[in-house]
Amino acid sequence: MTGPSLPWPSVIVAIGTCLAMMIVGASAGLAIAVLIVWLGTLWLSRPEPVVEVRISDEGSVSRQAMVELVEPFSVPVLMLDRQRIAAANAAAREALGPHIVGQDARVALRHPEAITLLDKPQGTAMVRGLTGSRSIWQVRRVSIDQRYSLIEMVNRTAEADISRSHTDFVANASHELRTPLASIIGYIETLADPDAKVDAATATRFHATVLREAKRLQSLVEDLMSLSRIEAEKHDLPREQIDLAQLAASIGCEVGATVGEDRITVSVADAVVTGDRQQLDQVIRNLIDNALKYGDPAQPVRVEVTREGTEAVLSVTDRGEGIHADHIPYLTRRFYRTDPGRSRAAGGTGLGLAIVKHIVERHRGKLDISSRLGEGTTVTVRLALVVTALKEVS
């Protein structure tokens, strides 16, 4: 920055004019007044100061400040210098790759909807498939000035998955409820029709079918309510100390008395865990019930409770047909069945393993399903042993 210099030629002319006035007889006061007015006019009409700006230096400082500003953001943020990515925070580099810095934004984003947004000074777009085939991102562009702008990316994939899951659940639940209801209504209407002329044997068979479908409907509603309660309590850690070995042995004996002692074998070791007795009871019963339904009726179901380090291990094994490996990742989904017809015929609701999964998650445990075709299936639940039980062993 340089200050204004005095107009020396004009000053000399003003002083000369005052001297000439005094020579020709003008009073000194008048000459001095004219000089003052002249100099004042020159001061008021001085040029504005010249400011020299180093664009490259100032630009680099501003850019660095903006990089430091966006880096702490948890969501991906890009800073654009016109259409080129000048900076990207860690979240953006992780989502799109570290190579995007310095690239043209249209090349880095590679999506028609995102590229359309780049042609506008600001706006928002929902971009599907930006980082994966099922990904959904909300992309927003905000202009800073004519040169710089920011792009913020918010991942909406999880929200969409949850919404899709809820939609699927409602659709599946409606279907599962409608099937037994339609059967019950159909048989009851036939029995109530005076023109149907149903004989006693047929009426007995119809009544048995209605009773079976009603019980199936009751089981489905109970499982839905149970799943709802478990999900509502999933953030509350259980605090009761449960003797898992005693609980498993008791349930095994009870089930054996119902289905036959040769259908189930129980082997347990002392294991005390922190849990919810009712929910752990439900886990054991659901696993045994599944094993009895889908296992070989000529082979016993084996229930074991063992200790492995700091964990109590509950396992239920059947000797059935086994499950193909492609199905195993989906077995804990609600209403998922490997063989829908067989499952419904056996009285299954399709919610048993989903309930087990949510209960195990609430207990901060681990659930594992292993199976081999032609050999059978083993479902394993691992729960942390209580500290007092560990001290007794040591």
Q: How many residues does the chain have?
A: 394
Any residues with CB less than 8 A from the CB of 389 and at least 6 apart, and which?
270, 271, 272
- Which of residues 392 and 203 earns the better pLDDT score? 203
Percent above pLDDT 90 for the chain: 23
* Domain's final residue, options 203, 230, 257: 230
Q: Is residue 39 one of the residues assigned to a domain?
A: yes
What pLDDT score was predicted for residue 10? Answer: 64
Co-location of 258 and 355 in the same domain: yes
Q: Are 266 and 248 in contact (CB under 8 A)?
A: yes
pLDDT of residue 150: 84
Amino acid at 207: H
| 78 and 29 assigned to the same domain | no
Domain limit, last residue, from 155, 176, 193 = 155
pLDDT band at 378 (very low <50, low <70, confident <90, very high): very high
125 within a domain of the structure (yes/no): yes
> Quick one: 132 and 267 in the same domain?
no
Following DSSP, what letter does each residue of 240-295 receive, concatenated? EEEEHHHHHHHHHHHHHHHH-GGGEEEEE---EEEE-HHHHHHHHHHHHHHHHHHS
Tell me if 20 is assigned to some domain. yes
pLDDT of residue 33: 67
Q: What is the mean pLDDT of residues 347-373?
A: 88
Cβ-based burial of 307 (10 A; exposed 0-12, middle 13-18, buried ≥19):
middle
Examine residue 161 and state whether it is found in any structural domain, yes or no: no
27 and 123 co-located in one domain? no
Picking from 249, 256, 297, the residue whose alpha carbon sits closest to that of residue 270 is: 249
Residue 2 has pLDDT above 50, yes or no: no
pLDDT at 370: 93
Q: Is residue 135 located within the same domain as residue 283? A: no
Same-domain pairing of 225 and 239: no
Q: For residue 55, what pLDDT is reported?
A: 35
Beta strand 264-268 with 240-243: parallel, antiparallel or unpaired?
unpaired
Q: Does 278 or 133 have the greater pLDDT score? A: 278
139 φ/ψ angles, rounded to the nearest 5 degrees: -110, 125
Map residue 94 onto helix, strand or coil: helix
Q: Are 237 and 351 in contact (CB under 8 A)?
A: no
The answer on 348 and 265 residing in a single domain is yes
| Lowest mean pLDDT, pick from 4-13, 14-23, 171-180, 337-346 | 4-13
Calpha distance 342→347 (Å, rounded) = 9
- Would 49 be classed as within a structural domain? no
Inside any domain, residue 163: no
The residues near 116 (Cβ < 8 Å, ≥ 6 apart) are 125
Query: Given pLDDT bands bounded at 50, 70 and 90, which one contains residue 273?
Result: very high
Q: State the alpha helices, DSSP H only, in the chain.
A: 8-23, 28-44, 55-70, 90-96, 105-109, 112-118, 157-192, 200-232, 244-259, 277-294, 340-345, 352-362, 387-393
Number of domains composing the chain:
4
Identify the CATH number of the domain in which residue 216 sits.
Answer: 1.10.287.130
Q: Which of 163-177, 277-291, 325-339 has the highest mean pLDDT?
A: 277-291
The mean pLDDT of 175-201, rounded to a whole number, is 85
Is residue 209 located within the same domain as residue 297? Answer: no
- Residue 48 pLDDT > 80: no
100, 88 in Cβ contact below 8 A? yes
Range of the domain at 66: 56-155
**pLDDT over 90 at 112, yes or no:** no
Most confident of 140-144, 326-330, 368-372: 368-372
Position 82 pLDDT exceeds 90: no
Q: Is residue 2 part of a domain?
A: no
- pLDDT of 62 > 60? The answer is no
pLDDT grade for 29, boundaries at 50, 70 and 90: low
Domain of residue 324, CATH code? 3.30.565.10
How does the average pLDDT of the chain come out, rounded? 80
Residue 24 phi, psi dihedral angles, 5° rounding: -80, 5
